[in-house]
Structure 1
């Protein structure tokens, strides 16, 4: 099949005079301005830097299709240049962002993917030096790179399951994220499906805010799927921008469509309740796409009542875009329909409770463009996403949680493997803890509930000693986790009597959701402090 960049390069030529990107420049006193970078500018820079990396890496013996690690902050416009210049030069970038804290973890993930070298931002020099025993090159400033005069090789046809770039899960398994090879078929499918999430036709250019880190899938691939529509992305100072920056983005940078994670949209709705300018601007957006989770019901109901054009998107790192709500049926939120072009099956889940309605697993058959790389699939003939849905009307589905030990937690509602946390606690603290569970689905962070071997009095010095001992014993494991998964604060540990945590009748397994419900008041106070 054609390389996924084939159509992208044609789009860069077609829309050469349009702005592809608006780069944020902040003044000494906090003033913000945005500099437009055209499609032609971006292509020229990508070609120039691509020739540099082609010459530099080839001279060290690296070949086309070699995996080259790129550890970047994920916040700089030049990160995008490096990603696409490496791809254009024939390499497969494996992306790491500022969420990574350990050079050893980056090294291990590179080795697992047969990575040959690492390019890294100067911010990570200390983590790399002495910890990554692979060829490593510190990224120089893009405008200082010496470019080779040799032309870049032509784009060749590729196998549909050949990786174009390698990302990682947003949570860790046994202290490490899992690599997610993103294939050419995945990206070409995403290019087509992105057209299906945009609702409402306009003659002028669609201009979006930057969704998140350039080293995470939604923004790393944005150049690919937005280019084919001639769209533009505007850089923001932070992902959860405030009311003042939101108004600047729309008035000065021209943002007319928002692409946000649900917690960030919730922040804007909070501002809109007391700021008429924010409310009017939200109502005048062409579309507000929010993802990662549903909004809380109060926010969603208020948004619908105010006629704010919000649409909920269900997408994942490994399965891309799958479901979107209908802008013309916003009263049905959070119900979603399949995005045109997505091939998947809704299969009744064995654990459905008849009196509460049937729950469905989402299954992506192997031939689907949304199906992950074979190395990531959990079935020989395809992949289950692990998320459960309820059909509320024909063709309309509502997300009903996970079907495994993973939860979404933290500021960006990233994945977290609770079983790995629980297993580690029970392994290293067996003399202290008889049982435990980690909770925090759709919450700001993870909270650990423990049943101690020896009873302790609530609020006593012995209880605090127990919590601190658990934290000390689990410290080596926590150090390998992403920040949103770590439990390093005694305030995030709740000690309860033995047998207090709710369990299943048959197997005696702790019921995570039941624990969250039973101790909701305690959790609410913990998260209020957080």
Structure 2
């Protein structure tokens, strides 16, 4: 099956000779596209409306990306030049909006690596990331003022320096106003090379709430991506925010001169109704000659909402390819979609090594959407088999992008485990993480081991198992010690809860355990299965207590709220949360 810019992995791009040999840096790349295809639409956002009417949209060309980034850079330099000279790396926390896009591009224009902070980060985590990256400037959207100021205070209390600076957009000076200004002929920008860091993502953080930065060079950001001459004929729509995989989605489209539509991330929730309104706005834009959206990218929970909506399902059926990644889509959902004619693929990659594999295939004959294929460029992907029949993916030296290496030979062992297909060669289904990291259905990840260890220190407990893979939130099985044998379940949970509540307050939002998901268990007749190193054999233990885990979610009840008007979504979500956490 011929590759497209939406499905082409970094290995394929290198093997097929589709990368740009003249690539210098991201700024130069934007300038080159602005010169070659100045009027070609590069990025679009739907404009939400409070009424039920058709949403409008706004697109920017490659020429706009060039001039807009320079104009915003000039404003930032004029307003905060002194601060910027003191910090090579600068941080940005902002919803996925045009303001994010142009601020990020502008800061790279000014030669600064940009630390992209996910809004879910707690102030302590933000301060830690900034300290790790030697960042003293934190640009923030107005809605994250409190969060940013608290991070500033944490840094100060720890003897560090961090300046929270609000972005230069307001009612009196919008992004459109800045972009309408005349550009100065005196502007000059520093030279950067392809090996310089352009921006940094970060891990989601463990239960301690401390994420780690993952630097991306200019070359990794865009220089290793494919360029398809016919790419501009098909646009992509992604629900992934820019501070996560949206950046990669954007560059993947732009290197082929294609348009990408991004979900407007400020002030509206990602619901099927809102995604449909975005797609409708993009569809309307084809009347002005813009290319149709043929590629749809999202995480599983968004795809599940779309699949359950009649109109949303029709939009998916009309796509050339629907891509899912970030977490596991339930097999029954994917099978149902494929059975009804949707060309569904899994896309697998990492911040450390970029786009690694997809299940792009002959859709008419091959329905195995879960099985990722390692074909062209696969000589740098190896699968090391374990005794349980699974295989760990290891990236070998020679792969186009490796931000991290963890073996002496320069390889990167991903800790991702796969199961081979029974009959299709070089086809692998993602199974689990070797390092026991839990992945919620939202795509958020966390390591439960530190939390388990902290909770299990209680005298009333012998051991703890935290679960939550492919679920919206986690839970914990609390295994009694002998001293707690006769304590009623409710009383045991009440005694343990204060310690867990304290841990929750120090954890990332997605790593917090609801009180109603604490399950009091009997004293163990046999200890939990552990390795020789004392680490929990998670998959074995989860299988052993599968009924208890399933019962925990069943007892929570199901949130069958029916169709909810968009204006009531926030209230319904609050009610749902309050029903879980007192």
- Residue 438 of structure 1 deviates from its aligned partner by 0.8
User: 2:243 is paired with a residue of what secondary structure?
Assistant: coil
**Greater share of residues in strand:** 1
The worse-fitting range, judged by mean Cα deviation, of 82-91 and 499-508 is 499-508
CA distance 1:510–1:90, shift in 2 (3 Å): closer
The worse-fitting range, judged by mean Cα deviation, of 142-151 and 26-35 is 142-151
- Residue 402 of structure 1 deviates from its aligned partner by 1.1
What do the CA deviations read for 1:264-301 (whole angstroms, capped 9, x no partner)?
A: 21222222xxx3x4444322211111112343222222
Instruction: Extract unaligned runs of 5+ from structure 2.
Output: 1-22, 157-161, 286-291, 560-582
Alignment match, 1:101? 122
- Residue 108 of structure 1 deviates from its aligned partner by 1.4
Alignment match, 2:329? 295
User: 2:342 is paired with a residue of what secondary structure?
Assistant: coil
The worse-fitting range, judged by mean Cα deviation, of 52-61 and 143-152 is 143-152
Alignment match, 1:490? 515
Aligned to 1:86, which of 107, 118, 140? 107
CA distance 1:120–1:148, shift in 2 (3 Å): farther
Alignment match, 1:198? none
CA distance 1:120–1:248, shift in 2 (3 Å): closer
Aligned to 1:463, which of 482, 489, 495? 489
8 Å contact from structure 1 (residues 516, 523) kept in 2 = no
Distance 2:338 2:344 in 1: 8
- Residue 439 of structure 1 deviates from its aligned partner by 1.0
CA distance 1:285–1:480, shift in 2 (3 Å): same
Aligned to 2:255, which of 228, 234, 247? 228
Instruction: Extract unaligned runs of 5+ from structure 1.
Output: 196-200
Alignment match, 2:392? 361
- Residue 110 of structure 1 deviates from its aligned partner by 0.7
1:20 aligns with 2:42: yes
Distance 1:476 1:150 in 2: 54
Alignment match, 2:98? 77
8 Å contact from structure 1 (residues 335, 398) kept in 2 = yes
User: 1:389 is paired with a residue of what secondary structure?
Assistant: strand
Q: How does 1:387-466 map to 2 (within 5 A)?
A: 387-392=416-421, 393-409=424-440, 411-427=441-457, 430-453=458-481, 454-455=483-484, 462-466=488-492
**TM-score, normalisation: structure 1:** 0.85
1:311 aligns with 2:345: yes
8 Å contact from structure 2 (residues 479, 522) kept in 1 = yes
User: 1:86 is paired with a residue of what secondary structure?
Assistant: helix
What do the CA deviations read for 1:38-61 (whole angstroms, capped 9, x no partner)?
A: 222222111111223344454336
8 Å contact from structure 1 (residues 8, 224) kept in 2 = no
Alignment match, 1:370? 401
CA distance 1:124–1:500, shift in 2 (3 Å): farther
User: 1:170 is paired with a residue of what secondary structure?
Assistant: coil
Aligned to 1:157, which of 193, 198, 201? 193
CA distance 1:341–1:43, shift in 2 (3 Å): farther
CA distance 1:244–1:79, shift in 2 (3 Å): closer
- Residue 383 of structure 1 deviates from its aligned partner by 1.3
CA distance 1:511–1:465, shift in 2 (3 Å): same
Aligned to 1:169, which of 187, 196, 203? 203
1:264 aligns with 2:306: no
Distance 1:450 1:491 in 2: 12
Aligned to 2:165, which of 137, 156, 159? 137
- Residue 249 of structure 1 deviates from its aligned partner by 0.7
1:337 aligns with 2:373: yes
CA distance 1:529–1:466, shift in 2 (3 Å): farther
Kindly report the root-mean-square deviation, in angstroms, between the aligned alpha carbons of the 2 structures: 3.0
8 Å contact from structure 2 (residues 234, 258) kept in 1 = yes
Distance 1:109 1:48 in 2: 28
8 Å contact from structure 2 (residues 197, 217) kept in 1 = yes
1:349 aligns with 2:379: no
8 Å contact from structure 1 (residues 185, 369) kept in 2 = no
Alignment match, 2:563? none
Alignment match, 2:30? 8
Distance 2:118 2:250 in 1: 18
Alignment match, 2:272? 242
Distance 1:420 1:78 in 2: 37
User: 1:445 is paired with a residue of what secondary structure?
Assistant: coil
Distance 2:376 2:76 in 1: 38
- Residue 164 of structure 1 deviates from its aligned partner by 1.4
Distance 2:107 2:91 in 1: 10
8 Å contact from structure 1 (residues 83, 93) kept in 2 = yes
What do the CA deviations read for 1:231-290 (whole angstroms, capped 9, x no partner)?
A: 22223356743157426514435432101112221222222xxx3x44443222111111
User: 1:477 is paired with a residue of what secondary structure?
Assistant: helix
Aligned to 2:141, which of 118, 121, 125? 121
- Residue 361 of structure 1 deviates from its aligned partner by 1.4
CA distance 1:244–1:148, shift in 2 (3 Å): closer
8 Å contact from structure 1 (residues 190, 321) kept in 2 = no
Alignment match, 2:64? 41
